[in-house]
Amino acid sequence: MDVYFDPVPLLGEARTVFQGRWADRQWLNVPGPFYGADTDNCGTGRIFAPALVLYEGEHFTEYVWRQPRTAAELQQLVDAAEAEVFSAYGCDGDDHWTPETVREWWRDRARITAYLAARRPVWEADDEKSGQGTAAAAEAYAAYLDGELAAHLRTYLFWLDERRSPTAADRLPQL
């Protein structure tokens, strides 16, 4: 069983760099406290948080494809948010996600898989110039969608309902 890592209380003063608005978030963000909203297109997010951040294809804005699960990953996301000139990363997703909206996002995940597959040639061409490994990260996101994300989201659903990490005795909700 996954243990829920609650990163938001660890932010401290770094919370001020997360000024993104929920209404502006990218649809590609995975459910959780963090998201990329109306970010710049400077391509800095993956430099700081390559295992957490990807770029949207049309405007090259940043989004969170995997939520941080350790203090080190949280620091990487803080660094990405600090480098983002519009301060458009958000950390208030827990105030907006509900079990129903997480399940709705999960039911629509095929849209993300199709999007990632369609953008692959563009990201491969960009990788030749930038060397950021965006195409490989998109493959990792697709594998995450097909693999361990379901377990992580079930743990997140429990956390949304209970505001605590599940124990071995707890039954996780279904997606």
What pLDDT digit, counting tens, does each position of 66-122 carry? 999 999 999 999 999 999 999 999 999 999 999 999 999 999 999 999 999 999 888
| pTM of this structure | 0.94
pLDDT tens across 32-63, in order? Answer: 999 999 998 788 899 999 999 998 867 778 99
Interatomic CA distance for residues 89 and 113, integer angstroms: 23
> Would you call 48 helix, strand, or coil by DSSP?
helix
Strand partners, 54: 63
pLDDT band at 123 (very low <50, low <70, confident <90, very high): confident
